[in-house]
Amino acid sequence: MIRYIQESRLEELFRILSRRGPLYLPLAEGPSLSFRPWSEGAPVDLKTVNSTVSAKEIFLPREEAYFCYRRAGRELALEPLEQEAANAVAFGLRACDLRGLEMLDRVFKDQDPPDGLYLRRREQTAIVALACAEPAPYCFCSLFGIDPARAGGADLQAWWHGEGLCLKALTAAGEELLSSAGELLHEGPAGAEEPPRVETGNFGLKLEGLPAGLRERFDDPVWEELYRSCLGCGACTYICPTCYCFDLEDFGHQEKGERYRCWDSCMFREFTLMAGGHNPRPTRKERVRNRFLHKLQYYPERYGEIACTGCGRCLRSCPVDLNIVQVIRALGGESR
Amino acid sequence: MAQDNLNRDQATARIRAAVTQDLLSGRISLLLGWQKGLFWWRSRPLFARSQQDLERLVWDSFCAVNLSRYLPEELSIEERVGILVKGCDARAFHRLLQDRMLDRERVLLYGLPCPGMLDYRLLAEAGVKEAEQMLEEGEELVIQTGGGEERRPRTDFLLEKCRLCSHPDPVVYDQLLLPPGEPRMDPASRFQDLEARERPTPAERYAYWSGELQRCLSCYACRQVCPACSCRECFAEQQEPRWLGKGAGLNENMLFHIIRVYHGAGRCIECGECQRACPVGIPLLELSRRLAKDIEELYGPYEAGMDPEAPPPLLTYRPEDPAAFPEK
């Protein structure tokens, strides 16, 4: 059954959903858009495609503490940190965000043992996917078989219709979200049983030969050209929905502190810097190659799928316009 | 900007002709310029080594990337590098020269007076989706929208770094390829907008900058793109001693940005690449310009990157320099 809510009443819906726990929504921060816990009056933007930083940060935050440590004399005590409230809702994820989560799931969730921090956030968060009414010029998710109007792995699918949102539960958790909204929701309008079909462009790319053809291309001269303009910043990796590298650090001093993890980027020199000073990826060339081979070869060889969702964030945000489309083209993946 | 009545295609052809000659004769072994990017509103750096490469060269309203940043590394590979310089690229060149990051004799500068580069975000807000919807006619943009044709001043659509630029014409070159343009602003009054947005108390300043910096991703794009950031190893990534935690909390972000901007005080050429590069749109140019303004108030008029013989105020000592912290 399709339910419907007027756009003007969304604020009331957010109020209800946020009673359960943190409600993550795309919030405007200056010209940027990120998934953040909603609070009264927060600048929600459910129209712009896509958020500047991907929705991965709901599940793999920029930084996250494991535990606190305390030392008294020779005694060392580890104290688990207070867990965040359960029953979070992530609202407004796009189909490409969901595909990105699938990729992270394989790395953090579907392992033995799974990653506890990730698993907890994943299991405690209900996901409301929002269909894209119109793709952005950067979008090319159709290349990866993603339907921007139908997200896999969501509990609830939402789509714009007239002056409001249609809502369709996909799981029991989705049903529960709908029933919690009670009388705020009306019966869906006739003729709006499904989100309208949307397709993105694909920049003329083809994926045949990926990843198999890349094994022999590690020393291809094409990398020599591609890395030249790269500045060596980590913008692409931090906004990317499928980049998941992190680092561990301690914050504090000998007596007291906490151990946390935070995002890390293979574009940084010290990412592979070893004790003693050796660096197996000494220049930007090796680092650029690694980033893109991880997407196009290493991840697919291990998990069976190219680690790109076509979300277009690296196309939009790279300050020198070096992005995965350019790389796939340079590697010959362009249909002529 | 009326450029000798040359349109951009003709200008591009003139530039291409000039640099082709030098590349073919071996006067330079590499040319740093721009080529079309993935979208019509993007131009990306071009590293041209052949005539074939030069066919991709463009000079249009989207050549925002400051190319001088690439010079130190390219000069470690190439014998003699040619580079196209706008006003900001030229001042960045002076910055690098003054910081002894490059050898003047091994660089050939082709000057391009800059009309200012356009910001796609502003164009999109005005309803421009395709290149065909936007026509440049001198100082005006002719925009086709559903409702018809609209004429708007080109300056309405400039990147902020270009809107605030006080020297669009290159301040150094070996050869000027296009005729000089009209200045867009008087350098002496370049901080007027900051005065209008003064935040008088430390509490207000702290609140404002906390709000902006809390979303910093620590991606370091601002540092990587900066022609004044020349440390071989940035304090932010030094392992021993460890100055800065790797987390993305407000404390780390603020410490990083304060140190970054103080390192640039009196040296920053105000090219605004930090702000353009920032993926989350932090107004970093304002931060740098606030310091530039302080420097002027403390040490007298100074614009970094204008004259390589004029040392930055904080790198010199004069007995009459103010000694006390100003009371603000």
pLDDT digits (tens, 9 = 90+) for B160-213: 999 999 999 999 999 999 999 988 888 889 999 999 889 999 999 999 999 999
Instruction: Measure in Å the smallest separation between the Cα of A233 and chain B Cα atoms.
Output: 5
B-chain CB neighbours of A231 within 8 Å are: 69, 221, 224-225, 277
Contacts of B237 (CB under 8 A, 6+ apart): A268, A269, A270
How many other C-beta atoms are found inside a 10 Å radius of the C-beta of residue B217?
Answer: 26
Tell me whether residue A235 is exposed, middle or buried, using C-beta atoms within 10 angstroms of its C-beta: 0 to 12, 13 to 18, 19 or more: buried
Positive or negative, the CA dihedral B163, B165, B169, B173 is: negative
Q: Is the CB of A6 inside 8 Å of chain B's CB atoms?
A: no
**Residues of A whose CB is below 8 A from B47:** 225, 228-229
Q: Does A52 touch chain B (CB under 8 A)?
A: yes
**Residues of chain B contacting A287 with CB distance shorter than 8 Å:** none
Mark yes or no for CB contact B215/A239 under 8 Å.
no
Tell me whether A317 touches chain B (CB under 8 Å). Answer: yes
B interface test, pick of A228, A287, A324 with most B CB neighbours within 10 Å? A228
Nearest CA in chain A to B77: A228
Residues of A in contact with B39 (CB under 8 A): 137, 315
**Interface size between A and B, measured as CB pairs under 8 A:** 113
B215–A contact, CB cutoff 8 A: yes
Pair type for strands A32-37 and A256-263: unpaired
Residue of A nearest to B244 (CA): A251
Helix (H, G, I), strand (E, B) or coil at B92: helix
* B43: exposed, middle or buried (Cβ count in 10 Å: 0-12, 13-18, 19+): buried
The helix (run of H) or strand (run of E) holding residue B109 is strand B107-111
Q: Does A269 touch chain B (CB under 8 A)?
A: yes
Q: Do A229 and B44 touch (CB under 8 A)?
A: yes
Give the closest-approach CA distance of A193 to chain B in angstroms.
Answer: 31
Is B17 at the interface with chain A, CB within 8 A? no
CB contact under 8 A, B47 and A228: yes
Provide, as residue numbers in chain B, all residues whose Cβ is less than 8 Å from the Cβ of A251. 245, 247
What's the confidence (pLDDT) of residue A335? 53
ipTM of the complex: 0.95
Chain centroid offset of residue B178 CA: 20
Helix orientation angle between B250-263 and B202-213, rounded to the nearest 10 degrees:
110
Is residue B92 within 8 Å of B304, Cβ to Cβ? Answer: no
- Chain B residues touching residue A62 (CB < 8 angstroms): 217-218, 247-248
Pair of tokens at residue A296: 């196009």
CB contact under 8 A, B247 and A326: no
| Rounded percentage of chain B residues whose pLDDT exceeds 90 | 81
CA distance A144 to B262: 45
What are the chain A neighbours of B282 within 8 Å (beta carbons)?
30
CA-based nearest residue in chain B for residue A138 = B39
CB-based contact (8 Å) between B271 and chain A?
no
Tell me the C-alpha distance between B254 and B241, whole Å.
19
Q: Cβ contacts (< 8 Å) between B133 and chain A: which residues?
A: none
B43 and A239: CB-CB below 8 Å?
Answer: no
Q: Which residue of B has its CA nearest to A65?
A: B247
Shortest Cα–Cα distance, B46 to chain A (Å): 8
Sketch the domain layout of chain B as residue ranges.
5-117+167-176, 187-315
- For B130, nearest residue in chain A (alpha carbons): A137
Using H for helix, E for strand and C for coil, what is the string for chain A?
A: CEEEEEHHHHHHHHHHHHHHCCEEEEEEECCEEEEEECCCCCCECCCCCCCCCCCHHHHCCCEEEEEEEEEECCEEEEEECCCCCCCEEEEEECHHHHHHHHHHHHHHCCCCCCCHHHHHHHHCEEEEEECCCCCCCCCCHHHHCCECCECCCCCEEEEEECCEEEEEECCHHHHHHHHHHHHHCEECCCCCCCCCCCCCCCCCECCCCCCHHHHHHCCCCHHHHHCCCCCCCCHHHHHCCCCCCEEEEEEECCCEEEEEEEECCCCCHHHCCCCCCCCCCCCHHHHHHHHHHHHHHHHHHHHCCCCCCCCCHHHHHCCCCCCHHHHHHHCCCECC
**How far does B292 lie from chain A, in Å, by closest CA?**
24
Residue A313: per-residue pLDDT: 98
Interface test with A, best of B217, B218, B220, B231 (most A CBs within 10 A): B217
The angle subtended at Cα B277 by Cα A236 and Cα B279, nearest 5°, is 50
Interface of A with B in 55-84 (CB under 8 A): 62-63
Nearest-CA neighbor of A26 among A41, A42, A8, A15?
A42
Put simply, the answer to whether A34 touches B215 (Cβ < 8 Å) is yes
Give the up-direction half-sphere exposure of residue B272: CA atoms within 13 A in the CB hemisphere.
21
Residuewise pLDDT in 10s, chain B (328 residues):
444 457 889 999 999 999 999 999 999 999 999 999 999 999 999 999 999 999 999 999 999 999 999 999 999 999 999 999 999 999 999 999 999 999 999 999 999 999 999 999 999 999 998 888 899 998 899 999 877 899 999 999 999 999 999 999 999 999 999 999 988 888 889 999 999 889 999 999 999 999 999 999 999 999 999 999 989 889 998 888 889 988 888 999 999 999 999 999 999 999 999 999 999 999 999 999 999 999 999 999 999 999 999 999 999 988 888 877 666 5
Residues of chain B with C-beta less than 8 angstroms from the C-beta of A229: 44-45, 47, 70
pLDDT in tens, chain A (336 residues): 899 999 999 999 999 999 989 999 999 999 999 999 999 999 999 999 999 999 999 999 999 999 999 998 899 999 888 776 679 999 999 999 999 999 999 999 999 999 999 999 999 999 999 999 999 999 999 999 999 999 999 999 999 999 999 999 999 999 999 999 999 999 988 888 889 999 999 999 988 878 888 989 999 999 999 999 999 999 999 999 999 999 999 888 889 999 999 999 999 999 999 999 999 999 999 999 999 999 999 999 999 999 999 999 999 999 999 999 999 999 886 654
For residue B216, the distance in angstroms to the closest alpha carbon of chain A comes to 10
**CA distances for B200 relative to B12, B81, B224, angstroms:** 47, 47, 32
Cβ–Cβ contact A319 with B under 8 A: yes
Task: Scan residues 133-192 of B and list those with Cβ closer than 8 Å to A.
Answer: none
Residue A44 in contact with partner chain B when CB distance is under 8 A? no
d(CA A95, CA A147): 7
A48–chain B Cβ distance below 8 A for any pair: no
Q: Are strands A156-161 and A125-130 parallel, antiparallel or unpaired?
A: parallel
Distance to chain A for B66, nearest Cα, Å:
10
